[in-house]
Structure 1
């Protein structure tokens, strides 16, 4: 069971332009592809087969194939894995950089999580995303056996699995959320999209609450 945080956005844009826009927006938040020595890591998977390049365009071209993953680096030594996967931009913060209790030591994590979530929301709006989610891996594991991770809600329109944060692109046909708890945490953005926020503090994440919400969410069909 992992406990990484994952940001995903499904976009109607080709891989190359999507990745270039992602990295341009990330740079505005001091998140860059270069590690501290200026080189750019590329992986065929997050655990092995590392190669380095110097040119960001070379890195983006490699990542656009879907066979190599890149990174964001903060101004410090924290790295976030980035990849293009079946029409989705995905980035993940390793559990070793995360907190799961609301202690004061979690403030650096909270700030970085907020930065990555702000980036996620900007990317979703700039690239006219269909759907996006911010997922806690441990929370998703609680309901993995339900087989709903990539499914639609039985009532239609909405994802069966919401993230702790969920973005739904502008769609006038989307029915109102059927669960009052979800409806109360849903707001419409200026571009007409919907943003659902089910968690206020990422350092106070509760996987069992996630399971409970989804049990009631699916029954509200």
Structure 2
């Protein structure tokens, strides 16, 4: 069972422009493709097959094929996995950088999580994302056997699995959330999209609450 944090967006934009848009907005938040020595990591597997390049355009072109993946680096030594797959932008923060208890030592994680979530929301609006989620891997694992994680998001409908944060692009056909507690945490953005925020502190995540909420969410469908 993993406990990475994952940010995902499905966007109606080709791979190259989507990745360039992502990295441009990431740079505004001090997240860059270059590691501390200036080189850019590319790999086909997060644990192997590493190669390095110097030119960001070369890196984006390789990532746009879907066969190679890249990274964000903070202005420290934390790296965040980034990839493009079948119309989805995805980035993930390894569990080794995360906290699951609301202790003071978690403040650096909270700041980085907030930076990555802010980037996710910026990219969603800039690239007109159809749908996006911020997911805690351990929480999703609680309901993995239900077979809803990769369910196709229906036009005019809600995802079967919400994230702790969920973005839904503007859609006049979308009905109100079917649970009052989800409705209470849903707000409309200036672009007409909806943002659902089900968690206040990423260092105080409760996977069992996630499971309970989704059980009731599906029964109310």
Range into which the TM-score falls when normalised by the shorter chain: over 0.9
Deviation of the 1:156 alpha carbon: 6.6
Contact 1:153 1:218 in 2 (8 A): no
**Aligned counterparts of 2:175 and 2:152: Cα–Cα separation in 1:** 13
What is the CA-CA distance between 1:154 and the residue it aligns to?
A: 9.5
Q: Measure, in 2, the Cα distance between the counterparts of 1:91 and 1:168.
A: 18
Change (3 A) 1:41 1:153: closer
Q: How far off its partner does 1:151 sit?
A: 2.1
**Cα shift at 1:72:** 0.2
Shift of 1:135: 0.2
**Residue of structure 2 in register with 1:56 after alignment:** 56
In structure 2, what is the Cα distance between the partners aligned to 1:183 and 1:21? 31
CA distance in 1, matches of 2:8, 2:164: 12
For residues 217 and 152 of structure 1, do their structure 2 counterparts lie closer, same or farther at Cα, with a shift above 3 Å needed? farther
Report the 3-state secondary structure (helix = DSSP H, G, I; strand = E; otherwise coil) of the residue aligned with 1:91.
strand
CA change 1:186–1:133 in 2 (3 A) is same
Structure 2 gap ranges (5+): none
Structure 1 contact 154–218 (Cα < 8 Å) conserved = no
Gaps of 5+ in 1: none
Deviation at 1:150, TM superposition (A): 2.2
Q: How far apart are the structure 1 equivalents of 2:154 and 2:32? A: 40
1:43–1:153 Cα change, 3 Å = closer
In 2 relative to 1, CA 130–153 (structure 1 residues): closer, same or farther, beyond 3 Å? closer
Deviations 1:71-90 (A, max 9, x none): 00000000000000110000
The number of residue pairs the alignment matches comes to 221
Name 2:11's counterpart in structure 1.
Answer: 11
Match of 2:160 in 1: 160
Shift of 1:155: 11
Aligned residues of 2:11 and 2:129 also touching (Cα < 8 A): yes
1:49–1:155 CA distance, 2 compared to 1 (3 A): closer
TM-score for the superposition, normalised by structure 2: 0.98
How far 1:19 moved relative to its partner? 0.1
In 2, are the aligned partners of 1:69 and 1:82 still within 8 Å (CA)?
yes
> Residues 34-57 of structure 1: CA distance to partner in whole angstroms, max 9, x if unpaired?
000000000101110000000000
SS at match of 1:141: helix
- Cα RMSD over matched residues? 1.3
CA contact (8 A) 1:186 1:195 kept: yes
Is the Cα–Cα contact under 8 Å of residues 156 and 173 in structure 2 kept in the other structure? no
